[in-house]
Structure 1
Amino acid sequence: MSSPRVIVQILITGAQIFGKALYEAGKQAVKNAKHSPQGGIASDITGVRNATSTSVTDKLTRDHRMTLDEAHLILNVKRGEAMEQILKSYEHLFKVNSPRPAADPVAGGPRAGKQPTAPEYSHYLQSKVVRARERIEAEVELAQQEARPPGENQGLGASNKSSSPDAGSS
């Protein structure tokens, strides 16, 4: 066999192998794109998208754009933990991600002329910590409202109704 003929055969065989691999990868990519996992760990967007019912918990998830489990993960607390511990964790994470107070620059000091360093805080993380606290507080408030006796909730509504006509006649 001549050398050019062997080189051409190697190139053709390599191109065929590469083509088959590319075709199979494309098929797998289409299959993966069509597949929607039902179980496992879901992202925060998936958790918000799945909150489609009219339940109060789903409404809280949509309003805060965060599930209760995500809020607990962000604040590094367990479900059912005391609110004091949740607030302690919140305050620590909020403080850690807050901007540091600016130091007074000394004119002509050793750092004169150097570029300022990048910030050592994260506004994004700080806002996530705040939203996580708000989500947990909303859930606690909901649980407290459900724990109240039904007569107590009606009493508040009745007093508002009786004061409405007086306010309108003034």
Structure 2
Amino acid sequence: MSSPKVIVQIFLSGSRILGKAFWEAGRQAVKNAKSAPQAAMGTDAAGVGHASSGSPTDQLTRQHRMTLDEAQLILNTKREGTLETVMKNYEHLFKVNSPPPKPEKPLARGQSAPYHSHYLQSKVFRARERLEAEFKLSSQEASPNAAAKSAESTPTTPPPSTDPSHPGGSS
């Protein structure tokens, strides 16, 4: 065999192998995209895509685009924490990341302006919203009897009479 012929055969065999590998990779990518299209696009934030049950907590996670654990980490609170602790930590973090007021005189040479972050401020705000919603949900679940009592105490109109002699009855 001549060397150019061997080189061409090696090139064709390599191309065929590489083509098959790319074909299989493409098929697998399509299969993965069909099974989890949101995760394939990279829009799944903090496991929100895994909140797929109909539970109220999962609904809050999807609505606020933040898990309960993430919100607690951001605001440095525990599961047993109170709303007062959440609000105290929120106010501190929100204030720290707020833009500073305009200085009356220019900064001295070598001094830098205080750092602030709109992104961190918005994360702190969203975490507070998520935890407030969770506290509201847990307080509703803790007192289902109060909701049932209020539903029982509301007056309802009686159903229409079926007696033909009655003025509101059917004929």
- TM-score range with shorter-chain normalisation? 0.5 to 0.7
2:155 aligned with 1:134: no
Structure 2: runs of 5 or more not aligned: 38-43, 156-171
In the other structure, the counterpart of 2:49 is 46
Return the index of the structure with the highest Cα Rg.
Answer: 2
Q: 1:151 Cα shift?
A: 5.7
Structure number with higher helix proportion? 1
In the other structure, the counterpart of 2:97 is 97
Decide whether the 8 Å contact of 1:99 with 1:121 is kept in 2. yes
CA–CA distance in structure 2, aligned partners of residues 128 and 7 of structure 1: 59
Decide whether the 8 Å contact of 1:97 with 1:125 is kept in 2. yes
Q: CA 1:10/1:102 → structure 2, altered by over 3 Å: closer, same or farther?
A: farther
The answer to which structure, 1 or 2, has the higher relative contact order (CA under 8 A, 6+ apart) is 1
- Aligned-pair identity in percent equals 56
Decide whether the 8 Å contact of 2:98 with 2:117 is kept in 1. yes
Q: CA 1:20/1:150 → structure 2, altered by over 3 Å: closer, same or farther?
A: closer
In the other structure, the counterpart of 2:30 is 30
Q: 1:9 Cα shift?
A: 2.1
Counterpart mapping for 1:103-142 below 5 A: 103=103, 106=106, 120-142=115-137
**How does the TM-score come out when normalised to structure 1?**
0.58
In structure 1, what residue type is equivalent to 2:19?
A: G
Q: CA RMSD in A?
A: 4.1
Decide whether the 8 Å contact of 1:47 with 1:66 is kept in 2. no
CA–CA distance in structure 2, aligned partners of residues 77 and 98 of structure 1: 21
CA–CA distance in structure 2, aligned partners of residues 97 and 130 of structure 1: 11
> Bigger shift: 9-18 or 65-74?
65-74
Q: CA 1:152/1:128 → structure 2, altered by over 3 Å: closer, same or farther?
A: same
CA–CA distance in structure 2, aligned partners of residues 152 and 28 of structure 1: 51
Q: 1:4 Cα shift?
A: 2.4
Structure 1: runs of 5 or more not aligned: 112-116, 162-170
| SS of equivalent residue, structure 1 residue 138 | helix
Could you list the per-position Cα deviations for residues 81-138 of structure 1 after superposition, in whole angstroms to 9, with x for gaps in the alignment?
A: 233433343234323432244446759x869xxxxx9x94332331121121122123
